[in-house]
């Protein structure tokens, strides 16, 4: 659970340090001079509520992924997935100048864990399918033009739902390449 | 002996006259009115403009004192800037406010109307303008102690002159595009003091400055309340429409997604238990 603790600590520190969120957000105009924003954007947020909810889900999904795939593969998944999601966000949303939030990365991790669980435990597939449908429903809700904006986002910030859709697709693809870890039922 | 008494009496009358000349019993009045600035030469009330006010948060806000009417004394530009800095501080920390800029008085002209307001807004690239207007009246009186001014020394040491400064500061926030008054907040103060005949001018000036300080201090909490109220009002009032600027996006979860994640935890836990 070292990775989970690191992610939790990272989210907490970046939320607490004044100015960190603005400095580490993904800015289209600065991406060439500050390429680390491709990754750091997933750990900074617009508001306290936004940070609390997104970080909580990210830490939960990181813990599940670390148990399912191990520390190393999950680290690679976070690093590579984070960069790909940011590049995808810049490509899918050409009008977007700034991006922050852990939800896409959490979605990516959650999808890989859910698919791996469905592969290993067929009896759990109905539950996984139900969770998948609910996830798709939330995606459609966010994509609806008159959708109610999540309360965690401040005024003036839109939900980058195409990045969530990309995270689902990336998660489905990544599950094929992630190693299978023997499950310890005594834990 | 009688000559000395007469001379003394004449001298006291003379000094009393001097004190009366030096003491401005009419007081001081200075004001800058939003209505005079935005609706110059208007003999009728401004017509109602029903319609939709569209806001694009995060908004850029400009803050300025309304230009002072000709012939009235005014705050110095330095004092104005200091007061506006305090008002500016009250606008910071709101997620729906992007930037706040102080617009110097030189960029607004007296009775400029909305045309001048739009020019300044374009120049400083702001969506909303917070116009700070004020009305300050200073009443001057003399106390019985002023009788001692006849001794000349008394004019330097006896605080026989009194001032009473009433100040009202008002911050009105306008949407530059629709000319709509979004909200306003007032602040008031009353400053009383006394001074010697010689030092009255400086003391009264300090009193007027303190009047502004206290009125702005009274204004700030009300401004915070109005900002919060306005934020809620635009969500429910059909006359306002919020259109987020396309520039800022976020991956965001709600409590619903948090429940989904907890559901995933439950599903994977059961898997391990089998």
- Whether B252 sits inside 8 A of A152 (CB atoms) is yes
pLDDT computed for residue B21 by the predictor: 44
Taking the CA atoms of A77, A79, A80 and A84 in sequence, report the sign of the dihedral they define. positive
The H or E element that residue A98 is part of is strand A98-100
Q: Between the CA of residue B22 and those of A3, A186, B189, B191, what are the distances in Å? A: 79, 96, 26, 21
Q: Are B42 and B114 in contact (CB under 8 A)?
A: no
Interface contact A45, partner B, CB < 8 A = yes
- Whether A54 sits inside 8 A of B251 (CB atoms) is yes
Q: Which two tokens stand for residue B101?
A: 């800029």
Best of A24, A39, A157 to disrupt the B interface (most B CBs within 10 Å) is A157
| A183 part of a folded domain | no
Place of tokens 């106390």: B143
pLDDT computed for residue B171 by the predictor: 93
- Whether B261 sits inside 8 A of A120 (CB atoms) is no
User: In chain B, positions 97-126, which contact chain A (CB-CB < 8 Å)?
Assistant: 98
User: In chain A, positions 1-40, which contact chain B (CB-CB < 8 Å)?
Assistant: none
Name the minimum distance, in Å, from the CA of A97 to any CA of chain B: 5
Question: Which distant-in-sequence residues (6+ apart) come within 8 Å of A165 by Cβ?
Answer: A139
pLDDT computed for residue B187 by the predictor: 92
| A86 part of a folded domain | yes
pLDDT computed for residue B273 by the predictor: 44
Pairing of strands B248-250, A158-159: parallel
pLDDT computed for residue A165 by the predictor: 92
pLDDT computed for residue B4 by the predictor: 62
Taking the CB of residue A3, how many other CB atoms lie within 10 A of it? 17
Q: What share of chain B is helix, strand, coil (3-state, %, to 5)?
A: 45, 25, 30
- B138-177 pLDDT, tens digit per residue, is 888 887 777 777 777 777 777 778 888 999 999 999 999 8
Domain limits for position A133: 2-177
Burial class (CB in 10 A: 0-12, 13-18, 19+), A138: buried
**What average pLDDT does the segment B56-83 reach?**
79
Name the minimum distance, in Å, from the CA of A103 to any CA of chain B: 5
pLDDT computed for residue B112 by the predictor: 87
Confidence of residue B49 (pLDDT cuts 50, 70, 90): low
Could you tell me which residue, B126 or B154, shows the higher pLDDT?
A: B126
Q: Are A81 and A174 in contact (CB under 8 A)?
A: yes
| A159 part of a folded domain | yes
Q: Between the CA of residue B16 and those of B63, B141, B159, B231, what are the distances in Å? A: 47, 14, 15, 59
Least confident of A79-88, B26-35, B65-74, B122-131: B65-74
Comparing CB atoms, the residue among B245, B261, B263 nearest residue A156 is: B245
Residue numbers in B near A152 (CB within 8 A): 252-254
Interface contact B236, partner A, CB < 8 A = no
Interface contact A46, partner B, CB < 8 A = yes
Interface contact A119, partner B, CB < 8 A = no
- Alpha-carbon span A108 to A90, nearest angstrom: 17
| A76 part of a folded domain | yes
- Alpha-carbon span B189 to B210, nearest angstrom: 9
Interface contact B56, partner A, CB < 8 A = yes
- Whether A53 sits inside 8 A of B267 (CB atoms) is no
- Alpha-carbon span A144 to B89, nearest angstrom: 37
- Whether B272 sits inside 8 A of A183 (CB atoms) is yes
pLDDT computed for residue B274 by the predictor: 46
Q: Is the pLDDT of residue B113 over 70?
A: yes
CATH number at residue A110: 1.20.1540.10
Could you tell me which residue, B197 or A111, shows the higher pLDDT?
A: A111
Extract the residue ranges of chain A whose pLDDT is less than 50.
184-187
Q: Is the pLDDT of residue B10 over 60?
A: no
CA dihedral A20, A24, A30, A34 (to 10 degrees): 110
- B205-236 pLDDT, tens digit per residue, is 888 888 889 999 999 999 989 888 888 888 77
Burial B232-247 (b: 16+ CB within 10 A, else e): eebeeeeebeeebbeb
- Alpha-carbon span A142 to A157, nearest angstrom: 13
ipTM at complex level: 0.83
Best of A153, A161, A184 to disrupt the B interface (most B CBs within 10 Å) is A153
Highest mean pLDDT among A176-185, B20-29, B235-244: B235-244
Domains of chain B: 26-242 (3.30.160.180)
Nearest one of B121, B58, B63 to A97, comparing CA atoms: B58
How many domains does the structure of chain A reveal? 1
Helices (H) and strands (E) in chain B, counts: 7, 9
Cross-strand pairs, B191: B165
CA dihedral B223, B225, B226, B228 (to 10 degrees): 120
| A42 part of a folded domain | yes
Q: What angle separates helix B255-273 from helix A48-69, to the nearest 10 degrees?
A: 20
Comparing CB atoms, the residue among A127, A150, A159 nearest residue B267 is: A127
Residue numbers in A near B255 (CB within 8 A): 53
- Alpha-carbon span A166 to A110, nearest angstrom: 13
Best of B94, B227, B261 to disrupt the A interface (most A CBs within 10 Å) is B261
Provide the 3-class DSSP secondary structure of residue A55. helix
Distance of CA B253 to the CA centre of its chain: 40
Residue numbers in A near B252 (CB within 8 A): 50, 53-54, 101, 103, 150, 152-153, 157, 159
- B183-194 pLDDT, tens digit per residue, is 999 999 998 888
pLDDT computed for residue A167 by the predictor: 93
Interface contact B267, partner A, CB < 8 A = yes
| A182 part of a folded domain | no
Q: Is the pLDDT of residue B245 over 90?
A: no
């Amino acid at each position: 659970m070292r990775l989970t603790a690191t992610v939790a600590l990272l989210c907490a520190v970046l939320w607490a340090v004044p100015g960190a969120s603005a400095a580490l957000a993904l800015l289209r105009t600065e991406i060439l001079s500050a390429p680390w924003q491709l990754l750091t954007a997933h750990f900074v947020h617009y508001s306290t509520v936004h940070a609390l909810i997104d970080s909580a889900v990210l830490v939960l999904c990181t813990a599940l992924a670390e148990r399912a795939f191990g520390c190393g593969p999950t680290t690679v998944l976070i690093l590579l997935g984070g960069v790909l999601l940011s590049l995808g966000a810049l490509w899918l949303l050409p009008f977007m100048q700034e991006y922050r939030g852990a939800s896409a990365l959490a979605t990516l991790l959650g999808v890989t864990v859910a698919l791996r669980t469905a592969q290993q435990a067929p009896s759990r597939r109905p539950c996984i399918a139900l969770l998948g449908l609910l996830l798709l429903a939330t995606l459609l809700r966010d994509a609806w033009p008159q959708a109610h904006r999540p309360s965690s986002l401040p005024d003036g910030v839109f939900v980058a739902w195409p990045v969530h859709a990309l995270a689902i697709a990336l998660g489905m693809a990544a599950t094929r390449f992630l190693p299978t870890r023997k499950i310890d039922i005594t834990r | 002996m009688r000559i000395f008494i007469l001379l003394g009496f004449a001298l006291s009358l003379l000094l009393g006259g001097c004190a009366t000349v030096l003491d401005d019993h009419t007081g001081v009045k200075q004001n800058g009115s939003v209505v005079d600035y935005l609706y110059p030469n208007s003999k009728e009330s401004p017509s109602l403009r029903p319609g939709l006010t569209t806001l694009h948060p995060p908004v850029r806000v400009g803050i300025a004192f309304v230009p002072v009417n000709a012939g009235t004394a005014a705050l110095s530009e330095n004092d104005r800037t200091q007061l506006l800095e305090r008002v500016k501080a009250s606008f910071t920390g709101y997620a729906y406010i992007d930037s706040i800029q102080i617009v110097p008085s030189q960029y607004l002209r007296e009775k400029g109307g909305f045309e001048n307001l739009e020019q300044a807004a374009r120049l400083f690239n702001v969506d909303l303008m917070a116009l700070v207007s004020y009305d300050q009246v200073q009443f001057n009186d003399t106390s019985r102690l002023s009788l001692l001014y006849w001794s000349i020394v008394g004019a330097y040491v006896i605080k026989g002159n009194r001032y009473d400064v009433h100040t009202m500061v008002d911050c009105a926030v306008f949407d530059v595009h629709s000319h709509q008054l979004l909200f306003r907040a007032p602040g008031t103060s009353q400053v009383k003091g006394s001074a010697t005949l010689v030092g009255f001018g400086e003391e009264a000036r300090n009193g007027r400055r303190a009047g502004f300080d206290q009125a702005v201090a009274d204004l700030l909490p009300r401004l915070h309340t109005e900002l919060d109220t306005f934020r809620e009002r635009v969500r429910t009032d059909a006359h306002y429409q919020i259109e987020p600027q396309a520039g800022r996006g976020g991956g965001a979860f709600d409590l619903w997604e948090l429940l989904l994640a907890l559901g995933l935890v439950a599903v994977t836990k059961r898997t391990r238990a089998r």
